Structure 1
């Protein structure tokens, strides 16, 4: 592993996120930079963790799920446990999205039915007014 380190502004710039977001992830225990006085020094592992958090967020993982994946990070084993866990989480997320798609389709059908009933009721009201005149 390289001995390169990063400042909070280096990571923010490189990963296109705010320093505030990085501090938030640190407060949540997802990152653990070294401290030199007030300065935070981030390792390559912190950078990998941050990338994993950002990727996880994009695909809908919770911070708890991201934490679980970060804890499994073990480059000495080729990250096999982490990768298997990630695959399981991806499959789970895909199932959730499929269910949400079905729920959305069902809701659209319900909206169509409600809309049709409203249109029919309006048409009957208008016809009733025309007959009354």
Structure 2
């Protein structure tokens, strides 16, 4: 039984990613297609790897974090190590996002205060008599 293979164009179209991005992930050692002359032949595992990278990027994981998760991929072992690691990374990412939300709320308050002060200063300046020299 032969396993499905994909060209770089197939993966690009199917996953809505540029061929340049696919080559970048290959250069980073995340993908290892076979070569037939100049043609790259990607395996089903390469496709899964790309999907994991894209999913990881969507939820804010760094490429290094994606690499760590991919290195734990073991379809024969039920992927429990990968899943535990993924849960830990999700918890970390949630904590980072919650801190960013608090930081943004604080920044909003500071902007409100700065805006009020500017508006008060403008109102005071427009009430003052103009001096003509």
When normalised by structure 1's length, the TM-score is: 0.94
Distance across 2 between alignment mates of 1:59 and 1:129: 57
Distance across 2 between alignment mates of 1:35 and 1:78: 30
3-state DSSP class of the match of 1:35? Answer: strand
Shift of the alpha carbon at 1:127? Answer: 1.4
**Aligned twin of 1:40:** 40
**Aligned twin of 2:92:** 92
Unaligned 5+ residue runs, structure 2? none
Unaligned 5+ residue runs, structure 1? none
- Kindly indicate whether the alpha-carbon contact (under 8 Å) linking 1:9 and 1:19 is maintained by their aligned counterparts in 2: yes
Deviation digits for residues 11-32 of structure 1 (CA, Å, limit 9, x no counterpart): 1111111111100110111111
* Higher mean C-alpha displacement, 1-10 vs 54-63: 1-10
Distance across 2 between alignment mates of 1:2 and 1:60: 35
Distance across 2 between alignment mates of 1:29 and 1:99: 32
When normalised by structure 2's length, the TM-score is: 0.94
Q: Could you say if the C-alpha distance between residues 103 and 121 of structure 1 is closer, same or farther in structure 2, counting changes exceeding 3 Å? A: same
Distance across 2 between alignment mates of 1:103 and 1:42: 43
**Aligned twin of 1:65:** 65
**Aligned twin of 2:116:** 116
Distance across 2 between alignment mates of 1:2 and 1:73: 22
**Aligned twin of 1:18:** 18
Shift of the alpha carbon at 1:126? Answer: 1.2
Two-structure CA RMSD over aligned residues (Å): 1.6
Runs of 4+ in 1 over 4 A off after TM superposition: none
Distance across 2 between alignment mates of 1:31 and 1:67: 10
**Aligned twin of 1:30:** 30
Distance across 2 between alignment mates of 1:27 and 1:88: 27
